[in-house]
Amino acid sequence: MTRHFRILQPGLQSTVQDLGRIGFQAYGVPVCGALDSMALRLANALVGNATGAAALEIRLLGPAFEVSGGPLRMALAGASADTEVTIGGETQRYGAWRAIDVPEGARVRIGALAGSGCAVLAFAGGIDVPPVLGSRSTDLKGGFGGHEGRSLAAGDRLNLSNVRDLGPCLALPSPPVAETEVTLRAVPGPQADAFTEAALEAFFHTPYRVSREADRMGMRLDGTPLTFRGGADIASDGIVTGAVQVPGSGLPILLLADHQTIGGYAKIATIISADLPRAGRLLPGATLRFRAVSVAEAEAARRAAEAEMQRLIASMVPVREGAGLNLEALYGANLISGAVSGI
């Protein structure tokens, strides 16, 4: 029997995502993919997958599911949350940023997320759903990709691809720290000249707050309204992930993974690719600021982000279950030879 898991409770919004559907925006097809691509890549590395293997993206509260067809290995990355694994009436709890081997018949529950609005749960082998236009990502607006083009529901069954020679479970010793204050770097434009100098000053030097109107498509921001030299409307043109559109209200909209492919509002700035995962983690009510950077600075930041990703993956170590006292480390700290008798 194929290894799989059956959804008991779906959580608030759980979808199958990978790194996105690249190359089809000219035909009106959004990229989609994980809001936090950094979490997707790290979760996949923890279970030995290719960097873009399909996994579950979890929003705010995780799912509960039952494992069938054989054991599986999984890892949660991107946010802090308790993972409960129950079998034979006994429950064990695990944290994030580590791989876990789960036996057949076990029930797994992922709790509420902390430190981020989304997390990624990867499984060794990856989730085996049919690719659509080269990607397994769910397009919620289009209703295709992922599992039946929708968020998971109770009773859904998801198969896993076969995998061999897993080796030891891995953990990330020093995972990324949750941010309390977020500053997103952005390149001005492509229609920065549509805004007054006062608007540009306000956008890059005053805080904004994520409103309750926030989803995978984008988030409306509350703060200082931005003023135009003429009007908000432009001839519709292409949109990239991270574009900041400003409608007639003057309040910015930060566009995320499921954004539309064209739009007719002026765009004051574009979030740099290195900061897109940080934008995807934001929750309603979060405060953020924007900082203007050049294209050259954005390219350097992208290279630095990739170097940091490779460093994190290289730092992963085997999980040490029930580790005892490390005498070698104790002696190496020179604690014994430095002791002084008080007698």
Number of domains in the chain: 2
Assigned domain for 316 exists: no
Nearest by Cα to 39 from 31, 51, 27, 25: 51
Q: Render pLDDT for 248-297 as a digit per residue (tens, 0 to 9).
A: 999 999 999 999 999 999 999 999 999 999 999 999 999 999 999 999 99
Domain boundary at 298, 316, 338, which? Answer: 298
Pairing state of beta strands 287-292 and 182-188? parallel
316-332: burial string, b at 16+ Cβ within 10 Å, e else: beebeeeeeeeeeeeee
Asked if residue 178 has pLDDT above 90, the reply is no
Claim: this prediction has a pTM higher than 0.75: yes
260 shares a domain with 128: no
Q: Render pLDDT for 120-148 as a digit per residue (tens, 0 to 9).
A: 999 999 999 999 999 999 999 999 999 99
The per-residue pLDDT for 166 is 87
Q: How confident is the model at residue 321 (pLDDT cuts 50, 70, 90)?
A: low
The per-residue pLDDT for 327 is 40
The per-residue pLDDT for 320 is 81
Q: What is the CATH number of the domain that holds 236?
A: 2.40.100.10
199-213, 255-269, 326-340: least confidently modelled range:
326-340
- CA dist 10 and 91 (Å) reads 20
Q: What is the CATH number of the domain that holds 127?
A: 2.60.120
Mean pLDDT of the residues in the chain = 92
The per-residue pLDDT for 73 is 97
Domain that holds residue 102: 4-171
285 shares a domain with 211: yes
Assigned domain for 314 exists: no
Q: How confident is the model at residue 338 (pLDDT cuts 50, 70, 90)?
A: very low
The per-residue pLDDT for 285 is 93
